[in-house]
Amino acid sequence: MPAAEFAVELAGITKRFPGVVANKDIDLKVRRGEVHALCGENGAGKSTLMKILYGMQQPDEGTISVDGSVVRFRSPSDAIKAGIGMVHQHFMLADNLTVAENILLGAEGMHGIAGGARARIAELAETVGLDVDPGVLVERLGVADRQRVEIIKVLYRGARTVILDEPTAVLVPQEVDELFETLRGMRAEGFTFLFISHKLDEVRAIADAITVIRRGMSVGTADPATVTSRQLAEMMVGSELPSPETRESTVTDRQVLVVEGLELAGEGGGRALLAGVDLVVRAGEVLGIAGVEGNGQTELVETIMGMRRASAGTITLDGTDLTKRTTLERREAGIGYVPEDRTRHGLLATQSLWTNRILGYQSRSPVSKGGLLGLIDRAATRRDTQRIVDEFDVRTPGIEVAAAALSGGNQQKLVVGRELSGEPVLLIASHPTRGVDVGAQAGIWEELRKARARGLAVLLVSADLDELIGLSDTIKVMLRGRLVADADPSTVTPEELGAAMTGADAAPAPAGAGE
């Protein structure tokens, strides 16, 4: 087959960092006009490989060819000039700028800033299915439309091959379907996609070919028409992985968390961020919160944690009113917290693993020698950090390395291990497996199941509907700062849950309706 039929060819790509080989002799061929999926555990080398293709890093060995010609990228601008764009998992948009301003930013010289630019933006908006006024502020857009703006940004700069990093991580099922329809339409027009995802069913639904990377090496390319999710998982980690399914009930009558009439005023007198929220989480129960991002889930969690001050309502933990307590006092009372953004609220990236073990536990054993004003017991903290590393399968060269040196999945396992080690009575787990690979995901699911069986109360917020349905005993749907529906995890489908999250008519009936 002529080389020109390949949009991208990577041959013998090797990348070394101190103490680790991130990529070892990787070959990857992506045909023009296909969706080529890249799967592997966190730390397997996918991100490094894509950073090399996008010019963010340079390989130590190997070559890159684009449309049959060998190229060398010294920066992302070189990759963009060669027709390669990248849409990152965490959107890189300015909320206070309009759609058009975000697209034009840094590319004003391509089509000007007047009629030519408007015409090109309109053309690309039709291509990706963005049906909003280019003059609207990005802060007013939903997650799916923000993603479309990101895709337009790279297309506007001339990309014909687009790297999509975890593009469905924050989308509900209907939005995933819409994204896939967009990709299929663009594929028919000759666009090429490299699709990075941990969601194996979605990969099989959209990809034309799947390449699996394990421990820095390519272990094979699979045909999505014939491969199963189980086989892909075995290629990724070498063994079959469990599902999140949990049906045996461990729910007791003891009310651990009681939230009543919780209100959170909007900034500048705008719409309330939380309005009349009531919920109860019992010992041995996982209460799941479903909702499209931006509908109050983050505000609910941060208000319960004391990071935001409620304007009305009460928060009670095991009979103790915590409404006016500080975040540290709430943690002292028995709340463990896995934040949705581990890099902002869960870890000190530049500090060692054992230093990160201290966060939030500086007044408790084994970290402290004697209360809030006591000294840190460094030796005991190091020993306990090593225990967490061993028990929670945190893959690291040692506890002295910086948290930033770990893959996302191993960072998350460290956070989960730390929070469960504090023997909490309530664990707030906000997107606990977001952006982690299937191996780390299965490990975190298992730890949550074991903690639930021990009687821990868990408030689970997740954009992964299979995770919510599989782990939760009860699911509540959040829309515009209110809890608008309950769903029974044993009967609800992801499609029904997604409909409730978007306010569609197909919302599930409240749990217990018709009984």
Residues 263 and 369 in one domain: yes
Grade residue 431 by pLDDT with cuts at 50, 70 and 90.
very high
What Å distances lie between residue 431 and 8, 164, 170, 220, 257, CA to CA?
34, 20, 10, 30, 19
Mean pLDDT is lowest, of 267-271, 330-334, 392-396, 498-502, for 267-271
Residues 437 and 293 in one domain: yes
Grade residue 446 by pLDDT with cuts at 50, 70 and 90.
confident
Residues 28 and 167 in one domain: yes
In a domain, 260, yes or no: yes
**Better pLDDT: 483 or 109:** 483
In a domain, 246, yes or no: no
Residues 402 and 450 in one domain: yes
Alpha helices for 392-471 (secondary structure H): 408-421, 438-453, 465-471
- Average per-residue pLDDT in the chain? 87
In a domain, 20, yes or no: yes
What Å distances lie between residue 354 and 38, 135, 387, 416, CA to CA?
33, 48, 11, 14
Per mean pLDDT, which of 141-145, 166-170, 345-349 is the most reliable?
A: 345-349
Give the mean model confidence (pLDDT) for residues 221-237.
Answer: 84
**Better pLDDT: 242 or 91:** 91
**299: part of which helix (H) or strand (E)?**
helix 297-304
Residues 226 and 374 in one domain: no
Helices (H) and strands (E) in the chain, counts: 18, 20
d(CA 508, CA 218) in angstroms, rounded, equals: 43
Give the mean model confidence (pLDDT) for residues 231-236.
Answer: 82
Query: Does residue 397 carry a pLDDT above 90?
Result: no
In a domain, 511, yes or no: no
Domain total of the chain: 2
d(CA 281, CA 288) in angstroms, rounded, equals: 10
Q: Which of 237, 267, 287 is the last residue of a domain?
A: 237
Grade residue 510 by pLDDT with cuts at 50, 70 and 90.
very low
In the structure encoding, which two tokens stand for residue 457, read together?
């109360």
Give the mean model confidence (pLDDT) for residues 202-209.
Answer: 93
Model pLDDT for residues 459-500, shown as the tens digit of each residue = 999 988 888 998 999 999 999 999 999 999 989 888 889 888
In a domain, 512, yes or no: no
Residues 228 and 266 in one domain: no
Grade residue 248 by pLDDT with cuts at 50, 70 and 90.
confident
d(CA 392, CA 105) in angstroms, rounded, equals: 44
In a domain, 243, yes or no: no
**332: part of which helix (H) or strand (E)?**
helix 327-333
Mean pLDDT is lowest, of 127-136, 202-211, 312-321, for 127-136
Residues 266 and 362 in one domain: yes
In a domain, 245, yes or no: no
Report the sign of the C-alpha dihedral through residues 73, 78, 83, 84, in that order. positive
- Tokens 């009967």, located at residue: 491
Grade residue 89 by pLDDT with cuts at 50, 70 and 90.
confident
Query: Does residue 241 carry a pLDDT above 70?
Result: no
Domain that holds residue 112: 3-237
Q: What is the CATH number of the domain that holds 55?
A: 3.40.50.300
pLDDT at 384: 93
Residues 160 and 260 in one domain: no
Q: What is the pTM of this model?
A: 0.64
Q: Which of 237, 268, 295 is the last residue of a domain?
A: 237
pLDDT at 41: 75
pLDDT at 433: 87
Residues 29 and 129 in one domain: yes
Angle 173-188/494-501 helices, nearest 10 degrees? 100
Residues 302 and 166 in one domain: no
In a domain, 242, yes or no: no
Query: Does residue 372 carry a pLDDT above 60?
Result: no
Alpha helices for 85-172 (secondary structure H): 99-104, 108-111, 115-128, 143-156
Q: Which of 237, 268, 287 is the last residue of a domain?
A: 237
**188: part of which helix (H) or strand (E)?**
helix 173-188
Mean pLDDT is lowest, of 28-32, 187-191, 370-374, 448-452, for 370-374
Question: Residue 409 in contact with residue 43, Cβ under 8 Å?
Answer: yes
Query: Does residue 135 carry a pLDDT above 60?
Result: yes
Give the mean model confidence (pLDDT) for residues 433-460.
Answer: 86
Question: What SS3 class is residue 138?
Answer: helix
d(CA 445, CA 370) in angstroms, rounded, equals: 34
Residues 60 and 186 in one domain: yes
Query: Does residue 258 carry a pLDDT above 90?
Result: yes
Partners of 461 in beta bridges: 289, 430
pLDDT at 371: 53
Residues 438 and 411 in one domain: yes
Model pLDDT for residues 62-71, shown as the tens digit of each residue = 999 999 999 9
Side by side, which strands form the sheet with 35-39?
84-87, 161-165, 192-196, 35-39, 209-214, 217-222
